[in-house]
């Protein structure tokens, strides 16, 4: 089986994950929809996170899924549930620092879902680059018999990365939120021109974000495959520039590979 774990409110980015799984899977493709309470911190948007199961069924079916798995919180976390899965290292910087406990919630639910579905491959979007790195580390360290497949980010015409949380924004706000992808693109261009100093690359991106008064960054960071920010970047296919920022009351994340390091540019 191929498996696409999601929190629902499916969009074209999720559909691309499903289509990729369909192309690469001889057996059934399973999509899970579960808004995982363990990965939301105090004051975050658990209660208002967008939900529309009928929409999810339609998007998943049209993209080629065979089954949609929609467990209840009581199924996932029955009375007496007391186990958590924690990955050190790659889970600690960036979103790990900005959202304490978030990745413990992610890895706990992902491991449960992988065990429940027992798929050969699991598909994750590269928009959540740190999440992808954390899941890959967990699967490797715990000898989970699944291949974790990363799928490139799908974007709106403006460059804004698709996200279920984009539904919180108006059309005008989404257009302005594309400043995140412009900031990342500026860092890519600076890297392509020969800049390798992390602090200089970071400042290039922050200067672009500063052009949009509504953009309040949590972080903008250029990192190596271990998600650490060295003083000077050494070329590697998994070097990335990542950003998280709050705009119009919504927290948005995005990332791009650094050109010339062997990565994709989308």
Which residues are known binding-site members?
A: 7-14, 39, 125-128, 131, 154, 162-165
Say whether 14 is catalytic. Answer: yes
3-state secondary structure 201-246: HHHHHHHHHCCCCCCEEEEEEEECCCCCCCCECCCCCCCEEEEEEE
Burial of 216 (0-12, 13-18, 19+ CB in 10 A): exposed
The angle at the Cα of 110, spanning 6 to 33, to the nearest 5 degrees, equals 25
Cα 103–135–21 angle (5° rounding)?
A: 130
DSSP 64-99: T-SEEE---HHHHS-TT--------STTSSTHHHHS
Q: With contact defined as beta carbons under 8 Å apart, do 247 and 175 qualify? A: no
Instruction: Tell me how far apart the alpha carbons of residues 225 and 133 are, in angstroms, rounded to a whole number.
Output: 8
Rg of the Cα trace of the chain? 18
DSSP 49: S
Cite the annotated binding site for ATP by residue number.
7-14, 125-128, 154, 162-165
Alpha carbon separation from 212 to 95, 164, 179, 182, 243 (Å, rounded):
22, 22, 7, 11, 14
- Binding site members for (R)-pantoate: 39, 131
DSSP β-ladder status, 2-6 and 67-69 = unpaired
The single residue of 14, 70, 102, 236 carrying the catalytic annotation is 14
Catalytic site residues? 14
């Amino acid at each position: 089986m191929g498996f696409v774990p999601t929190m629902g409110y499916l969009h074209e980015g999720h559909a691309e994950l499903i289509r990729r799984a369909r192309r690469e899977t001889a057996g059934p493709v399973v999509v899970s929809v579960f808004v995982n309470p363990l990965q939301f911190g105090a004051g975050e948007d658990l209660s208002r996170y967008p939900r529309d199961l009928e929409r999810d069924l339609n998007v998943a079916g049209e993209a080629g899924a065979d089954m949609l798995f929609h467990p209840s919180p009581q199924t996932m976390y029955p009375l007496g549930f007391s186990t958590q899965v924690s990955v050190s290292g790659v889970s600690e910087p960036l979103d790990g620092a900005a959202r304490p406990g978030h990745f413990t919630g992610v890895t706990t639910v992902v491991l449960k879902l992988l065990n429940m579905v027992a798929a050969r491959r699991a598909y994750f979007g590269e928009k959540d680059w740190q999440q992808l790195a954390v899941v890959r580390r967990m699967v490797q360290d715990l000898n989970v018999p699944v291949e974790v497949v990363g799928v490139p980010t799908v974007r709106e015409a403006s460059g804004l990365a698709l996200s279920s949380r984009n539904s919180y924004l108006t059309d005008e706000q989404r257009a302005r939120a594309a400043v995140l992808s412009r900031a990342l693109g500026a860092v890519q261009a600076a890297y392509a021109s020969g800049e390798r100093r992390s602090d200089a690359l970071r400042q290039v991106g922050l200067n672009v974000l500063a052009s949009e008064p509504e953009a309040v960054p949590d972080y903008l960071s250029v990192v190596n495959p271990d998600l650490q920010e060295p003083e000077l970047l050494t070329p590697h296919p998994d070097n990335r520039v990542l950003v998280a920022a709050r705009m119009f009351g919504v927290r948005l994340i995005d990332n791009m590979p650094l050109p010339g390091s062997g990565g994709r540019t989308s």
